[in-house]
Homo-oligomer: A and B are copies of this chain.
Amino acid sequence: MTRRIPASTIRRLSHYLRSLEDLEASGDETVSSEELALRGQTTAAQVRKDLSHFGSFGKRGLGYRIEELSARLRQILGVDRVWKVALIGAGRIGSALFEYPAFESRGYECVAIIDSDPAKIGTYWSELQIHGPDDLESLLAELGVELVILAVPARAAQEMAERSVRAGIKGILNFAPIRLKVPRHVPVEDVNLVMELEALSFAITQHGSEP
């Protein structure tokens, strides 16, 4: 049942999980693929196909038990546990992420902040002291950091990524607008705001010319 999973399926799984959490709050017991599809901007067949990659969690005639399916999705997405995160780069984006409410509430725990600005090193964000980049490797290794959020300028990103990998981290969320070169076993997820804006202006421009 589990072969290579399309990236689009994973994105939708995240959506389904969010919808299930809403439904959980509203007291229902079960949900059909039809309703999940409605909330997720997709089709019932797509929902069932997505889930079928990982097993069969529903009951014919009834639908999916909400509590069970959300637990299962959390497991599949790997968010049924707490991830230790280091934030590298304590600039604007870093601070925005640090204060992002969904962040901690969803099992991502920031255990280290690193920045190269001497004015910031030694100061505190909440309980966390900001470290300089010198002892990055040992710091990450000692704290058991698994996941790094890279929010540094493009020119520093590759070096920080390499050093994080050397410290044994398992994945990178990258905000720098460059393609990081890392070993194949370290997944990188890119967030590129300029790209999103360009996709938007393309869509708008396109729309005008072809209704």
Residues on A close to B: CB < 8 A?
2, 5, 7, 10-11, 13-15, 17-18, 39-41, 76-79, 83, 91-93, 95-97, 99-100, 102-103, 106, 108, 146-147, 170-173, 177, 179, 185, 187, 189, 191-207, 210-211
Contact = CB atoms under 8 A, between A and B. Distances in A.
A108 B194 CA distance: 10
Given A77-B198, A97-B193, A100-B92, A187 B203 contact: yes
A201 B171 contact: yes
Contact of A147 (B13, B18, B204, B211): B204
B195 A11 contact: yes
Nearest to A201: B78
Contacts of A106: 194, 197
B197 A108 contact: yes
A120 B100 CA distance: 19
A205 B10 CA distance: 13
Given A77-B202, A146-B204, A173 B189 contact: no
Contacts of A79: 198, 201
> Of A77, A95, A147, which is in contact with the most chain B CB atoms at under 10 Å from its CB?
A77
